[in-house]
Amino acid sequence: MRLQGAKAVVTGAASGLGEAVARRFHEEGARVVLADIDLEGARRVAESIDASSRSAVAVGCDISRESSCNEMVQAAEVFFGGPITIFHANAGTAFSGALLDAEAERIERAIGINLTGAIFSAKAALRSLSQAGEGSLLFTSSLQGVLGRPQRSVYTATKHAITGLVKSLALEFGELGVRVNALAPVGIDTPLLRQQLSRTTDDVDGRIRDMAANLPLGRMPMPRDFTDAALFLASSEARCITGQTLVIDCGASAGIREPRPSKPAA
């Protein structure tokens, strides 16, 4: 029960990593507000965590709108009966493809959710976290927040911005007792990743094996690896850690490796 008594809000909690983090925080003793633009999805998850709604509830939020972020935090404070102590700005969206082929609307949407939305939600949460006298603000970044990747230009730009945002906010809010950190995973073996891969290959398991083989540890992170890291950074065990981006990549960012020998054709 490493988060006993904590009051946590997780955005993008209707599915995927946000759902996994919300469940893990609750298992460790936190009361949890699950925020998502998909309110019905968030409600289903919250009810599966606690059907009584005493320790887990859902709140609708469009993080690209500042007013919606403020309303989310206000609703959380009413539920908790006091300020937030943990806020995980997890909601985000993907962007892939050549920049020269990208429509303005797609670019603006990625920036609006991944960067502007992260700033709006953090701004709303920090007012509450500061009142608590201590707190943890987490962002979900990406390995592309520390490295570049072709065909992912706008996504990479937004995640690099999160790395800088974390450093600045850590300096700005440290004296108020708020720690600010980010989690930067490589691709995680989730149902969403498998669904995305299925659009380009009939052998999803084989593609996952190839992706894992190209990482130094020879494996891909699982959701539990991500929630372990989130739990650590949110807990008092990380009380001296702020301004950091924790990379969860099975060694991918360590440096250039010799390519693995290709498998012989069958």
Residues annotated catalytic, as ranges: 155
Cα angle 105, 166, 226 (rounded to 5 degrees) comes to 85
Distance CA 76, CA 87 (A): 11
Query: In the block, which residue shows the tokens 């659009």?
Result: 199
Let me know: does 3 contact 29? Beta carbons within 8 Å: yes
For residues 136 and 149, give the distance between their C-alpha atoms in angstroms, rounded to a whole number: 30
Q: For residues 12 and 15, what is the distance between their CA atoms, to the nearest angstrom?
A: 7
Which residue type occupies 130? S
Cβ contacts of 235 within 8 Å, gap of 6 or more: 2, 3, 28, 136
Asked if residues 134 and 178 have their Cβ atoms less than 8 Å apart, the reply is: yes
For the chain, the C-alpha Rg in angstroms (whole number) is: 19
Distance CA 93, CA 81 (A): 31
